[in-house]
Amino acid sequence: MTARLIAALALAAALPLGAQDRRGRDLPAFLGPLRRVPVPDENPMTEAKVELGRKLFYDPRLSGNGALSCASCHNPALGFADGLPKGIGFNGAVLGRGSPTVLNAAYQETFFWDGRAPSLEEQAKGPIQSEKEMNNRPEKVEATLRAIPGYVKLFQEAFGGEPTLDRVAQAIASFERTVVDLDSPFDRWACGDENAMTDAQKRGFELFTGKARCMVCHSSATFADKRFHNIGLDDGDPGRFAVTQDEKDRGAFRTATVRNAAVTAPYMRNGRFKTLREVIDHYEKVSNEKEKHSNLSIFMLPLKLDEEEKKDLEAFLHALTGDKRDPRVNVVPELPR
């Protein structure tokens, strides 16, 4: 309990006070500043676990050939994503979908584009074992880590036991809960700082929540509704259907967070769009050509934005780039031997 308290205090210190404790403005109930990172009871955060997780996140020895780490595709240099349309994994394999940012992933309730993992812990175990990604096996991960005295010691300190894949995932998830990008211009504005957003950004927010209806799906503090929608990318990827076997989910994907969108191009799960403007234009176009798409979300409605409005909306999206990241998350740790 003490360790958990320490971790909670550490996180509280990292958060701008206003973002946790008050809401300075009359916002829609489903939008607002990010609150404290949710931590599951089964995996309380401790400093030891976070620090171990940071090492594991950056350690290529978790991969089958020792050349790829979590940070290879979730690269802090590129907004904890990779800047590629689709991820590039083991031996240069091009993956089926793009690498989502880890920034603020801690606030999500499902993971992977099709939502097949219910927690950061479950997610972390996926790419390590995927043949096209890190291509490793649990027993080899465990054997590798148990042969590194520095890790044996760190796992003992963090978990009171030896390295296991489950503990690897718990430590990485704990680290990822510190990879949050708070205190964006929007958050500061939402907490009462009138000057934190430009006039264009404020007009963009009006459009986002009003005429353009973006917030129908991009709701909640993460600007994502934690649901699955088909937005007309039509590239044959079954998406959520693969998880539910429900035809209504065919081609539907988890709503992406709009936070940090300005630093996580390209966009959509297949990286089809290079700019935010292309994204805006896609919604307009698809909504106006509903008959050309199958299984389209009922929320795909024409935005009816003029040129100025599109610029304002894009300006608002730039107000969602966090300015206050824990500096430790970008520091490559020296790894145990």
Q: How far is the CB of 322 from a second copy (least distance, A)?
A: 11
Q: Which one among 3, 14, 39, 78 touches a second copy, defined by CB under 8 A?
A: 78
CA distances from 133 to 97, 254, 331 (A): 12, 21, 23
- Helix (H), strand (E) at residue 122: helix 120-129
Q: Which stretch binds a second copy (CB under 8 A): 69-77, 107-115, 196-204, 218-226?
A: 69-77
Nearer to a second copy, 72 or 220 (CB): 72
Residues 319-328 as b or e (16 or more Cβ within 10 Å = b): bbbbebbbee
Q: Contact at 8 Å (CB) between 103 and 260?
A: yes
Instruction: Give the whole-angstrom CA distance, residue 46 versus residue 50.
Output: 6
Nearer to a second copy, 134 or 231 (CB): 134
Among this protein's residues, is 278 annotated catalytic?
Answer: no
Determine the 3-state secondary structure of 154 from DSSP.
Answer: helix
Q: Can you point out the beta strands (E) in 133-278?
A: 181-182, 228-229, 253-254
| Contact letters for a second copy, residues 49-68 (x by CB under 8 A) | ------x--xxxx---xxx-
Using the 8-state DSSP alphabet, how is residue 228 labeled? E
Contact positions with a second copy (CB under 8 A) in 292-331: 327, 330-331
* Count of Cβ atoms closer than 10 Å to residue 121 Cβ: 22
Q: How far is the CB of 270 from a second copy (least distance, A)?
A: 16
Q: How far is the CB of 292 from a second copy (least distance, A)?
A: 31
- Decide if residue 333 touches a second copy (CB under 8 A): yes
- Decide if residue 5 touches a second copy (CB under 8 A): no
- Decide if residue 84 touches a second copy (CB under 8 A): yes
Terminal-residue alpha carbon distance, the chain: 30
Q: Out of 42, 122, 131, 133, which one is annotated catalytic?
A: 133
* Count of Cβ atoms closer than 10 Å to residue 8 Cβ: 15
Helix 138-146 crosses helix 165-176 at what angle (to 10 degrees)? 80
| Contact letters for a second copy, residues 252-291 (x by CB under 8 A) | -----------x-x--------------------------
* Count of Cβ atoms closer than 10 Å to residue 157 Cβ: 14
Nearer to a second copy, 55 or 218 (CB): 55
- Decide if residue 143 touches a second copy (CB under 8 A): no
* CB proximity list for 309: less than 8 A, separation 6 or greater: 203, 207, 211, 212
Instruction: Give the whole-angstrom CA distance, residue 274 versus residue 278.
Output: 7
- Decide if residue 82 touches a second copy (CB under 8 A): yes
Q: Which one among 1, 29, 41, 92 touches a second copy, defined by CB under 8 A?
A: 92
Nearer to a second copy, 46 or 72 (CB): 72
Number of residues binding to a second copy, judged by CB under 8 A: 33
- Decide if residue 132 touches a second copy (CB under 8 A): no
Residues 225-247 as b or e (16 or more Cβ within 10 Å = b): bebbbbbbbeeebebbbebbeee
Q: How far is the CB of 109 from a second copy (least distance, A)?
A: 28
- Decide if residue 110 touches a second copy (CB under 8 A): no
Contact positions with a second copy (CB under 8 A) in 179-218: none
Binding interface with a second copy (CB under 8 A)? 55, 58-61, 65-67, 69, 71-72, 75-79, 82-84, 88, 90-92, 263, 265, 327, 330-335, 337
| Residues taking part in catalysis | 133
